Amino acid sequence: MLTGTKLEALLAKLRRALEERGDAEAAEKLFREVVAEAQRLGFASAYVHYVLAGALDRMGKLEMAFDELKKAMKADPLALPMRHSFEDVAARLRAALADPARAADDAAVPRLYALLVEAGEADLESHLVMVRFAVATAQLERARVLAEAVTTLFPAAREAWEALARVARAQGDVARATAAEAEVAVVGVQIPLFGVEGKAMA
């Protein structure tokens, strides 16, 4: 068990950071100093990353909080409270990315999208937002690659095929657009449960 004055000084700093009420920036600085010093001592402290993530979240620094939670989970992948916080912040990042008020060409889109993809937390809507961004910023080739990939990942999602059809049409690839539209029509058909048509009777 690590002991000594160096550790005591760092623990005192950590306690000060946790007790800091008025100056959130000062608390963040203290936390980051503890993280750096701990690393110099050879420790990646899941606990410190986790409490720093909480402080950053309260400050509205959601992307930084997510980054700290990733580090916490790397240090302790079996910690359920950290996992729950990670999932909560990931959900809020997804919601922020897919916010209908966000312009299609918003510069924050690729950054938020990359954060989610790297963490394996991007969902269908996240990918579609990125496709829309690529179209809105005239990156049609990038949009096409993404849209094709999204239809592979989510072959039963009507929106994925619709996005691919739009991108292909914008590229002038009528054949692919028509094929994607045909998929939209197929995906839209409701297959009867157990293949049984008609109404259940008692």
Partner 1 sequence: MVSEPKDEILLKVQAAQSLSSEDPEKAELFLRSALKDAEALGHSSPTLHLHLAELLYRLRRTRQALEEVIEVLELDPFNLVALKLHGVLGRRLR
- Which residues would be at the binding site for partner 1 (CB under 8 A)? 1-2, 7, 10-11, 14-15, 18, 34, 38, 43, 45-48, 75-83
d(CA 149, CA 72): 31
Which C-beta is closer to partner 1: that of 63 or that of 76? 76
CA distances from 118 to 66, 95, 112, 115 (A): 11, 17, 10, 5
Which C-beta is closer to partner 1: that of 70 or that of 176? 70
Which C-beta is closer to partner 1: that of 31 or that of 113? 31
Amino acid letter, 134: A
Which C-beta is closer to partner 1: that of 48 or that of 89? 48
For 74, the 3-state DSSP assignment is: helix
- Continuous H helices in the chain: 5-19, 24-40, 46-58, 62-75, 80-97, 108-118, 124-136, 140-153, 158-171, 174-187
Shortest Å distance, C-beta 48 to partner 1: 5
d(CA 109, CA 129): 8
Shortest Å distance, C-beta 27 to partner 1: 14
Shortest Å distance, C-beta 122 to partner 1: 20
Shortest Å distance, C-beta 201 to partner 1: 35
Which C-beta is closer to partner 1: that of 7 or that of 145? 7
Shortest Å distance, C-beta 176 to partner 1: 34
Residue 142, number of CB atoms within 10 A of its CB: 17
